[in-house]
């Protein structure tokens, strides 16, 4: 009996070690709790983030142990990547946003038009009546496909009323990055310097790769299997994040 208990403890220990290694060095699951990345990421999406895409830092590990302020095996992210990072405000909270500007870039939004290094980012209007969530509110937006200089395309939305159409000019410091939510008028991101602002490279956690599960919690929780026909978003399972 004693040997069986010891064997079970060993098995559990090895399983925890393997899970910790996978989570720290390869892939970590994340849950989308807000509408700041609509229409591309929805509340209830569960996704995998690759921890190796940009190298490793203290934030690659559980509880962010403060052993170093450097990145190891560092790789530069690309504009347009959807990235999980720790907010500079507390170095603890996970945010997921789209990388728009890299060190040395100059960025500004003028009349809901994005300018990068003085050049207007190509924006193609797809829909003038796109309905998205903003917290508990449903808002009418304009759906725009933006194309970054590298050719990366993604969809973003602006409110049709009361939009944050104009911003100050931002110049990204060395070893920092500038992020925006795709739901431009419902996102706390790098435009808010006191709460998010420029994100240091050490705060990058990983690159969002694909959605492995998605459910609409307004239609029912996962354990309420009798509501799966309404709550599960099967069309989002294993969807690549762009």
Average pLDDT by consecutive 10-residue portion of the chain (242 residues)? 75 82 91 97 97 96 91 96 96 97 96 92 92 93 95 94 82 98 96 94 98 90 82 96 94
Q: What is the pLDDT of residues 13-27, one digit of tens each?
A: 888 888 788 888 899
pTM of the model: 0.93
CA distance to 99, 175, 176, 238, per residue, from 102 (Å): 8, 8, 7, 29
Each domain of the chain, given as residue ranges in start order, spans: 2-240
Q: What is the pLDDT of residues 121-166, one digit of tens each?
A: 989 999 999 999 998 899 999 999 999 999 999 999 999 887 776 8
> Which residues are the active-site residues?
36, 97
Q: Does domain 2-240 have CATH number 3.40.50.300?
A: no
Q: Biggest alpha carbon distance in the chain? A: 73
């Amino acid at each position: 009996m004693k040997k069986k208990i010891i064997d079970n403890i060993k098995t559990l220990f090895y399983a925890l070690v393997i899970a910790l290694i996978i989570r720290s060095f390869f892939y970590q699951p994340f849950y989308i709790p807000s509408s700041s990345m609509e229409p591309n990421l929805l509340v209830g999406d569960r996704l995998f983030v690759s921890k190796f895409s940009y190298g490793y830092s203290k934030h690659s590990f559980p509880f962010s142990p403060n052993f170093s302020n450097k990145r190891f095996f560092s790789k530069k992210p690309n504009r347009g990547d959807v990235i999980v990072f720790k907010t500079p405000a507390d170095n603890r909270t996970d945010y997921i946003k789209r990388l728009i500007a890299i060190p040395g870039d100059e960025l500004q939004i003028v009349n809901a038009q994005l300018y990068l290094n003085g050049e207007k980012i190509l924006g193609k209007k797809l829909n003038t009546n796109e309905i998205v969530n903003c917290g508990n509110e449903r808002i009418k937006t304009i759906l725009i496909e933006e194309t970054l200089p590298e050719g990366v395309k993604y969809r973003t939305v602006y409110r049709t009323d009361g939009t944050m159409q104009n911003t100050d000019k931002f110049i990204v410091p060395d070893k920092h990055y500038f992020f925006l939510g795709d739901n431009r008028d419902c996102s706390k991101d790098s435009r808010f310097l006191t709460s998010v602002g420029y994100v240091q490279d050490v705060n990058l956690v990983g690159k969002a790769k694909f959605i492995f599960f998605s459910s609409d919690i307004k239609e029912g929780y996962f354990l309420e299997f009798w509501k799966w026909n309404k709550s599960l978003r099967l069309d989002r399972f294993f969807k690549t994040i762009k």
